[in-house]
Structure 1
Amino acid sequence: MAKTYQTINPANGETLATYEMLSDEQALQALKDSHQAFLEWRKTSLEERGNILREIAKRLRASKDEYVALMTREMGKPISQGGDEIELCAAICEYSADRAPEELADEERELEGGRALVSYQPIGVILGIQPWNFPFYQVIRYSIANIMAGNTVLLKHAPNVWGSAVEIEKVFLEAGLPENVFRNLLIDADQVNQLIEHEHVRGVTLTGSPRAGSAVGAKAGECLKKSVLELGSNDAYLVLDDADIDLAVETCTQARIFNNGQTCVAAKRFIVVDSVYQQFRDKFVEKMRQIEYGDPTDENTMLGPIARDDLRDTLHDLVKRSVDAGATCVFGGEIPDGPGYFYPSTVLEDLKPGMPAYDEELFGPVASLIRVKDEDEAIRVANDSRYGLGGGIFSKDEKRAIDIARNLFDTGMVNINGYRIAQPQLPFGGVKDSGYGREHGGFGMKEFVNVKSIMIVE
């Protein structure tokens, strides 16, 4: 009998749907079908691929309300935020279609006694292992770049958003993408290794925890296959002595609670210099107190539930362990009564190294306030992390902020006086335990291609 999985609405704990999982044999057959599709797909022109991507964008926008409601049901995203996710997905499709002719064009190079070309050619089936926090975007981010490059794509999505995975495959096919160029696999994590080991899988990309990334990266390396890993982070936002405090407070609040605080590039550690600490702290605490959790289907709700009960338990455990180690819980920090997996807006301070709220990623609406002496200590503390995905700086001295961001901040992305997440035209990725490789900005199209040298002697 086939194994099944039930998706659960985190706002009320009710069952949404039941999905029949693929057997090992069915998953391997899907992989073989994807490889056969690659043999034809790689022959298509960039123009043909781009036209399909533009049609995907059109259809995503046409069904936006339906997809937004689905994401809210499956993982609790506030319904007012889901539309931006679908718009980003559509923009990625269009950007990839527009930029591919330039990004993937042959390059001419000098060669003594002749001439040379550098060509970017697709390599085959790319396996993507994706999380639940942005159910559409996480899939679009890696799949569209690889489809545009001429590869075919397999998706192992997080089980709690399998409804979203099914809809993505459906819209791809309806937009004209040939069968098996993109395949959604309803499989367990323990079925992944057999796919990575198979000769037809030529690359692996994962977005998830460092633990999962380490395991998948090690397996890919063992099989001599390239991987791209976008992992967690504990992003630091620096509030310097010349910061616009009101702007910093407003921005940091939004950057902490966006997507219910379940964002790898959410602002998590707020490192504030002593001269403005009390001013920022008092206004930030007041602002965070105003954030109330509620029904994610209500347009006015800013904070919905945590996506799963086990994830809420993990978050609460990290908060409790931090408090037990000496951190002060200014407010929040308690699991509320009632249905659903809600967790309140929470602020912690008096944090020190060794506390989970200082060292680890808290995936939920919990803010860590850290007081430092001056700018130099702020930079040191910001970099005192095994993570390095994103971060931010608040300062009226834009030139100095850019210098810190460029030369001193050990992360892959930095915001200055604002909060932006993924942008189609800019590379996305991190360093240290936040992973390696880049997506977006044309970089994702070149992660899984054969950079081929062709030397012509004349």
Structure 2
Amino acid sequence: MAIATVNPATGETLKTFDALNEGEIEDRLVRAEQTWQEYRTTGFDRRANLLRKAAELLEADADDIARTMTTEMGKPLAQARAEAAKCVKTMRWYADHAEALLADEHPRAADIKDSGAARAYVRYRPLGPVLAVMPWNFPLWQVIRFAAPALMAGNVGLLKHSSNVPQTALYIEDLFRRAGFPDGAFQTLLIGSGSVEMILRDPRVAAATLTGSEPAGRSVASIAGDEIKKTVLELGGSDPYLVLPSADLEKAVSTSVTARVQNNGQSCIAAKRFIVHTDVYDEFASRFAEKMAALEVGDPMADETQVGPLSSEQGRSDLEELVDDATMHGATVLCGGGRPKGMDRGWFYEPTVLADVTKEMKIYYEEAFGPVATLFRAAGLDEAIEIANDTSFGLSSNAWTEDVAEQERLVRDLRAGGVFFNGMTASHPGMPFGGTKRSGYGRELGDHGIREFCNITTVWYGAKG
């Protein structure tokens, strides 16, 4: 894939970039290693001041970088602005809390004594340069949620961003430089996917994090495994959205629309499979389809637009293939199901709801990355859980019920990295985020996220003889 800004609302190529050659990559690896050797010795106060300055600059740049993101990948401008604000919040959160999150930990006194130590503690130390392979769908947020904790822990970052968001990628490097971070603390590498293996195998690179597709995650994990390097993977999701009889149906319906079409439906944590108890199925299905059909599809720069284009022509083709296969095998289209009429430019697709989905259809198992929802009828809680877990993914889940016993059952039995009741899945800097099964492993955000790329070091002092 060429490294280029291609406006998905028009299909127009706006700017292209040359990939780094091997010599240029080597220069950046040298710089990363040299910078880390010094940066790792800085104190938390210094790191926090730098990160707060970056947050201040991003806050001032929010409208400009939002327009860049919308131009490059097509999300509605209001959502792009919200993404920038979330990044500012997260940087400030880690600047405020990192020192406490990484404070020395002290084992129980009895265990210290039993080990023969006069004293002992656990210290979190940085690993080194970390390679981040990031996707286009949240081009600022996905990077910042890695970079903020990694930099506060004393690591340095090397970013291989998606090839269709190069201007956003370069902005992030410039942001940290303007904030006063050392020149090699965070570097954007404009490279193709073919260069990732060489960089990951380089002994100066300590670890890697990837957010993206399952095949990409499998590739990075296998290379890192061969090199015995730590990885964190956040991959695809086909998140269930359960609606049970005790739910507030009005809120469940209105939230379901946002949960499905956020970011034009191109989100790993977007609700994709709507599993509804038979007692409320007909009413939910009717109201859900009506609201989906009423969404405003159009220019992502326009204030009234609720759903913009898909990020690429291939992305739309993949979605069309899933919908066409489903209808061919008997799925019922409650709304949408094709390209919007009169929109010949850009890669738009109608908000779509499919019912009567069966296991013979590809969409039953594959992630639909766009504004397409699948609807399932469940006879009871047991069947709802069975459908929800009948996927290779396990990123997050949503459930609407006021019944405490049902809530406890769902926490116990839903196989996912998150269970969100009476609301939609969302990430917050203070809470761990990640999945299970083929949605990946490891966690980002919270105290768990900042410790992923730390050397958890036991420090032990023997008693004086």
- The answer to whether TM tops 0.5 is yes
| Cα offsets for 1:372-422 (capped at 9, x unmatched) | 11111101110111100011011122x235313421111101221112411
Residues paired across the two proteins, number:
455
1:319 to 319, 323, 329: 323
Question: Is contact 2:401–2:407 with CA below 8 Å preserved after alignment?
Answer: no
| Cα offsets for 1:189-244 (capped at 9, x unmatched) | 00000011110111010000111101111111011001000000000000001111
TM value normalised by structure 2: 0.96
2:52 to 46, 51, 54: 54
2:156 is aligned to 152
Amino acid at match of 1:279: E
1:361 is aligned to 367
| Cα offsets for 1:273-310 (capped at 9, x unmatched) | 11110011111111111013101000110000000111
2:42 is aligned to 44
2:346 is aligned to 340
What are structure 1's unaligned runs of at least 5 residues? none
Give, in whole Å, the separation in 2 of the partners of 1:28 and 1:326: 54
1:390 is aligned to 396
Give, in whole Å, the separation in 2 of the partners of 1:293 and 1:327: 23
1:204 is aligned to 208
2:167 to 140, 163, 174: 163
1:352 is aligned to 358
Shift of 1:357: 2.1
Amino acid at match of 1:385: T
Question: Is contact 1:269–1:370 with CA below 8 Å preserved after alignment?
Answer: yes
Shift of 1:326: 2.1
Shift of 1:54: 0.8
Secondary structure of the structure 2 residue equivalent to 1:439 = coil
2:193 to 189, 193, 207: 189
Aligned pairs for 1:393-412 (under 5 A) are 393-397=399-403, 399-412=404-417
Give, in whole Å, the separation in 2 of the partners of 1:306 and 1:70: 16
2:96 is aligned to 98
- The answer to whether residue 22 in structure 2 is matched with residue 24 in structure 1 is yes
Question: Is contact 2:331–2:357 with CA below 8 Å preserved after alignment?
Answer: yes
Give, in whole Å, the separation in 2 of the partners of 1:235 and 1:361: 9
Amino acid at match of 1:153: G
Give, in whole Å, the separation in 2 of the partners of 1:4 and 1:244: 47
Give, in whole Å, the separation in 2 of the partners of 1:436 and 1:346: 31
Give, in whole Å, the separation in 2 of the partners of 1:414 and 1:55: 35
What are structure 2's unaligned runs of at least 5 residues? none
Amino acid at match of 1:157: H
Question: Is contact 2:74–2:300 with CA below 8 Å preserved after alignment?
Answer: yes
1:225 is aligned to 229
Question: Is contact 1:127–1:156 with CA below 8 Å preserved after alignment?
Answer: yes
Amino acid at match of 1:297: M
2:311 is aligned to 307
Give, in whole Å, the separation in 2 of the partners of 1:4 and 1:395: 47
Aligned pairs for 1:406-421 (under 5 A) are 406-421=411-426
Give, in whole Å, the separation in 2 of the partners of 1:354 and 1:120: 49
2:78 is aligned to 80
| Cα offsets for 1:141-160 (capped at 9, x unmatched) | 11111111001110000011
Give, in whole Å, the separation in 2 of the partners of 1:280 and 1:134: 30
Give, in whole Å, the separation in 2 of the partners of 1:59 and 1:402: 42
| Cα offsets for 1:28-61 (capped at 9, x unmatched) | 2211210110000001001100111111111111
Give, in whole Å, the separation in 2 of the partners of 1:354 and 1:158: 33
Question: Is contact 2:3–2:190 with CA below 8 Å preserved after alignment?
Answer: no
Question: Is contact 2:270–2:425 with CA below 8 Å preserved after alignment?
Answer: no
2:435 to 430, 438, 458: 430
Amino acid at match of 1:50: A
Shift of 1:435: 0.2
Question: Is contact 2:145–2:444 with CA below 8 Å preserved after alignment?
Answer: yes
Amino acid at match of 2:459: I
1:108 is aligned to 106
- The answer to whether residue 268 in structure 2 is matched with residue 270 in structure 1 is no
TM value normalised by structure 1: 0.97
Secondary structure of the structure 1 residue equivalent to 2:280 = helix
1:255 to 252, 255, 259: 259
Shift of 1:4: 6.3
Give, in whole Å, the separation in 1 of the partners of 2:63 and 2:272: 30
Judging changes above 3 Å, is the alpha-carbon distance between structure 1 residues 275 and 230 closer, same or farther for their aligned structure 2 residues? same
Q: Which moved more, 1:25-34 or 1:401-410?
A: 401-410
Judging changes above 3 Å, is the alpha-carbon distance between structure 1 residues 133 and 4 closer, same or farther for their aligned structure 2 residues? closer
